[in-house]
Structure 1
Amino acid sequence: MERLTEHVIVISFDCLSAKDFEQIQKLPNFQRLLEGASYCRNVETIYPSVTYPCHTSIITGNYPMRHGITANTLVQPGRDSPDWYWHRRHVKGTTVYDEAKKAGMSTAALLWPVTARAKIDFHIPEIFANRKWHSQTAVSLHNGSFFYTFEMNRKFGHLRQGIQQPWLDDFVTAAASDTVRTKKPNLMLVHLVDLDSQRHQHGFNSQEAMDALRRHDERLGKLLNAIEESGIAEKATVIALGDHSSLDEHTVIKMNVLFKDSGLIGIGKKGRVTSWKAYCQSNDGSCYIHVSDPLVKDRVQALLYSLVSNPKNGIETVYDSVEMQQMGANGDAAFMLEAREGFYFSESLNGDAFELIQDVDVASGLYTRACHGYSPKKSGYETVFIAKGKGIKEGVILPAMSLVDEGPTFARLLGLDLGEVDGRVLNELLAD
């Protein structure tokens, strides 16, 4: 297959929404990228629209049900901090970086989700120390490229404050820029999280979120400068994208509190889960309901539909396993719940089942939290895709596309093939 470019550099701005497009058009480095670029500001995400399933869909071209990353976290009932789908071994099938490696190309990935222990040449995975006896440095070194990670931390570790934002993204940008200049990888995947973090903590339209967009513009400028300084600009394709949007919240729904009160979750003397027959696995704007005992499934279903009947409970839809599979989500769960706008799900077992978020004033539009995980069919919930450089036509504006179209398009640019996938190659963007 003909190769259309020598280098594909993908920059994921986590939680970059189509609603941000007007703003980024005014920022100098996004303007610089958009000049002569092709783009889509109506990219449909996947379900559930959380970071790990999204980023795996981006680099496989498949929906979660097919690639296996159906949530951010594993099902670990009652655990305060469940483990995430950090490792490459969880992904079913191939990825763009696997195919690039097979073809003898050099690869790099910085904080790209679900890549721990992947065969990537220059690699710092997104994984955090989730045990009291673990250190962040040791976890990163063990799961990525040891000497590369060590060198990047030696050069730029002073920019970090652990894994806190915005400092972590500053570290990633510095490491990615250095890698472009010195390694010139054929495929680079960069994941920046500052915007998503600020929206989670302060709300969608908060000043903190707007400040993060400006910081992202500066980071984009540094990466574009590095590409030019490396001498590969004429042979490279730069892609900037988002993975999902987010929505402001005023109320948290704790399904596990209801299950506990209904005798479906057993709690020991120390407040820990000792047994469960039904359990809510949160995706924030949606959740999976797992049922371990088939004898209680009808009872659980009746409870769920009784909640949906009252809009004040915040549950918009109940999906069964067949409907979940049709949407590309986890068909192994018994049910999936979609929250109404303004509501989100927690796995908490404590407090009231429905709790208003503190410091939220809906009447005045003051929100202090936003999240995602909702259905891609939610109105105004689209994300963004921008492509420019070698192998890309200038000025093509796509009216619509899907997140699963991105991986097949990256592969085609590099002369690779992901095989039979859910997405398609965006041929209308590709230069002859």
Structure 2
Amino acid sequence: MSRLTDHLIVISFDCLSSLDFPMLQELPHFKELLQRGSYCNQVQTIYPSVTYPCHTTIVTGNYPKRHGIVNNTLLQPGRLSPDWYWHRKHVKGTTLYDEAKKAGMTTAALLWPVTARANIDYNMPEIFANRSWHHQVPVSLSNGSIRYQLDLNRRFGHLRKGLNQPELDDFVLESTVYTIKTKKPELMLVHFVDLDSQRHYHGFASKEAMAAVERHDVRLGRIIQALKESGIYENSTIVALGDHSALDESKAIKLNVLFKEKGLIDVNEHGKVKSWKAYCKSCDGSAYIYLNEPSDHQTKEVVEELLKNLVLNQTNGIEKVISQHEAAAMGADENCAFMVEARRGFYIKEQIDGEFIDSITERDVRAKRYTLASHGYSPEKKDYTTLIIAAGKGIRPNVVVPSMHLVDEGPTFARLLGLDLGSTDGSVVEDLIYDS
């Protein structure tokens, strides 16, 4: 298979929505990209539409049930801070960066989800210290490229303020520019989280979120300039994309509170989970319901009746109960007993204490107990699509793709690099590709 570009730079602007497109058309660097290239501003995301499954779908072309990253975090009932699907070992099958490496290409990834300990030449994975005795720097170093990360931290570490935004993305930007100029990777994956953070804690259309979109335009401009200064711009393909949208919420649902009341979750004297028969695993806008014993039909019947009764009253915030079979058909985890979809204005938390429904206050948000907007909702929700813009070598100019799916992005990127991801759930978006 012929290779259509020498350098593919994929930039993920986490939580970039189709609703942002009119604004992007007016910002100088997004506008430049749009004028040079092509786009689709109706990209359907996956279910559940959370960051780690989405980014794994982007590099595999598969739905979560197939690539194995079915949520952001692992099923660890009652744990205050569950571990995330940080590591490459969790991904089933191959990825874009695996195939690029096999083909002898130079690869780089900056905070791209689920790449800890991946075989990437220049890798700064997204992972954080999740134990009281862990420290961020050694955790990052031990899971990525040690010398590369030490160099980046020495040069740009002063820009960071822990995981706070926009400082973290400013650090990622300088690291990206430096990597382009010094390493000239043939495949580069970059993940910016500023917009997602602002939407979570200030609301979807907040002034803070809009300011983050403007900062992203500046970041895009700096990356384009770095490609020009390094002499590889004409032989490069630049892709700017989102992974999911978000919706505002004002109430939090805690199904595990009900499960505890029904005797399906047992806690100790400290309120920690001691044992469980059923557990609600949050995906924010949706949730998985798992049974400790999948063959426990009695518990399943109790849970099903409970959930279906909740749907009857809109104030409970549950829009829909999805069966195991239906969840699998949508590409979600086929090992769940059910999924539940939250109504607009609601999202789902895992807590087992307090009231079943909590109204979200500013104080809650300041304490980072709750958020004002989230994702994880069904891709069938109205006005919930994301977008992709591609320009440069191998991309047809001035094409508007009416609609596509997140699973189509991986096969399309593989085609640009002359790679093959094998049998995938998605397919190459031929309208975007200029095959000379």
TM-score interval w.r.t. the shorter chain? over 0.9
Q: Distance in 2 between matches of 1:255 and 1:263?
A: 13
Q: Distance in 2 between matches of 1:27 and 1:369?
A: 26
Deviations 1:135-188 (A, max 9, x none): 100011000000000000001001101111110000000001100011000000
Which residue matches 2:366?
none
Alignment partners' CA distance in 1, 2:157 and 2:395: 35
**CA drift at 1:85:** 0.2
Please give the secondary structure, in 1, of the residue aligned with 2:339.
strand
| Cα pair 1:359 1:368 within 8 Å, conserved | no
Q: Which runs of 5+ in 1 are unaligned?
A: 361-366
**Match of residue 421 from structure 2:** 418
Query: CA 1:368/1:52 → structure 2, altered by over 3 Å: closer, same or farther?
Result: closer
Match of 2:77 in 1: 77
Q: Could you tell me how far 1:344 is from its partner in structure 2?
A: 0.3
Q: How does 1:235-254 map to 2 (within 5 A)?
A: 235-254=235-254
* Identity of matched residues, %: 62
Contact 1:285 1:343 in 2 (8 A): yes
Separation in structure 1 between the aligned mates of residue 236 and residue 214 of structure 2, nearest angstrom: 25
> C-alpha separation between the residues in 1 aligned to 2:299 and 2:216?
48
Q: 2:428 corresponds to which letter in structure 1? A: V
What secondary structure is seen at the aligned counterpart in 1 of 2:270? coil
Counterpart CA distance in 1 for 2:34 and 2:178 is 23
Paired residue for 1:2? 2
Q: Distance in 1 between matches of 2:314 and 2:393?
A: 51
Report SS of the residue matched to 2:12.
Answer: strand
Structure 1's consecutive aligned runs of 4 or more residues displaced over 4 angstroms after TM superposition are none
Q: Distance in 2 between matches of 1:102 and 1:393?
A: 27
Aligned-partner SS, 1:240? strand
Residue from 333, 343, 348 that aligns with 1:345: 348
CA displacement at 1:359 relative to structure 2? 4.0
Shift of residue 368, structure 1, vs aligned partner: 6.6
Counterpart Cα distance in 2 of 1:418 and 1:198: 34
Q: Which residue of 1 aligns with 2:332?
A: 329
Correspondence 1:165-314 to 2 at 5 A: 165-293=165-293, 294=296, 295-314=298-317
Partner letter of residue 336 of structure 1? Answer: M
Match of 1:385 among 353, 378, 388: 388
Provide the rounded CA distance (Å) in 2 between the counterparts of 1:234 and 1:26: 24
In angstroms, what is the RMSD of aligned CA positions?
1.0
Q: Secondary structure at the match of 2:36?
A: coil
TM, length-normalised to structure 1: 0.98
Question: In 2, Cα distance between the equivalents of 1:135 and 1:324?
Answer: 38
State how far apart, in whole Å, the 1-side matches of 2:188 and 2:47 are.
25
Quote the residue 1:363 is aligned against: none
Higher mean alpha-carbon deviation, 116-125 vs 24-33, is at 24-33
Q: SS of the counterpart of 2:173?
A: helix
Kindly provide the CA deviation profile for residues 91-132 of structure 1, in whole angstroms up to 9, marking residues without a partner as x.
Answer: 000000000000000000000000000000001000000001
Cα deviation, residue 247, structure 1 = 0.2
Cα 1:322–1:45 shift into 2, 3 Å: same
Distance 1:25 1:349 in 2: 45
CA distance in structure 2 between the aligned counterparts of 1:356 and 1:275, rounded to whole angstroms: 28
SS in 2 for 1:238: strand
- How far does residue 24 in structure 1 lie from its aligned partner after superposition? 1.2
Q: Deviations over 1:311-348 (max 9, x none)?
A: 11111111111101100000101000001111100001
CA distance in 1, matches of 2:223, 2:412: 21
Alpha-carbon offset, residue 252 of structure 1: 0.5
What is the distance in 2 between the residues matched to 1:385 and 1:214? 17
Deviation at 1:51, TM superposition (A): 0.1
For 2:216, give the aligned amino acid: H
For 2:402, what is the secondary structure of its paired residue? coil
Q: Counterparts of 2:358 and 2:227 in 1: how far apart (Å)?
A: 48
* Residue 374 of structure 1 pairs with residue 377 of structure 2: yes
State the Cα distance separating 1:201 from its structure 2 match.
0.5
Question: Which amino acid counterpart does residue 299 of structure 2 have in structure 1?
Answer: V
* Structure 1 residue identity aligned to 2:408: D
Give the alignment of 1:78-93 within 5 angstroms.
Answer: 78-93=78-93
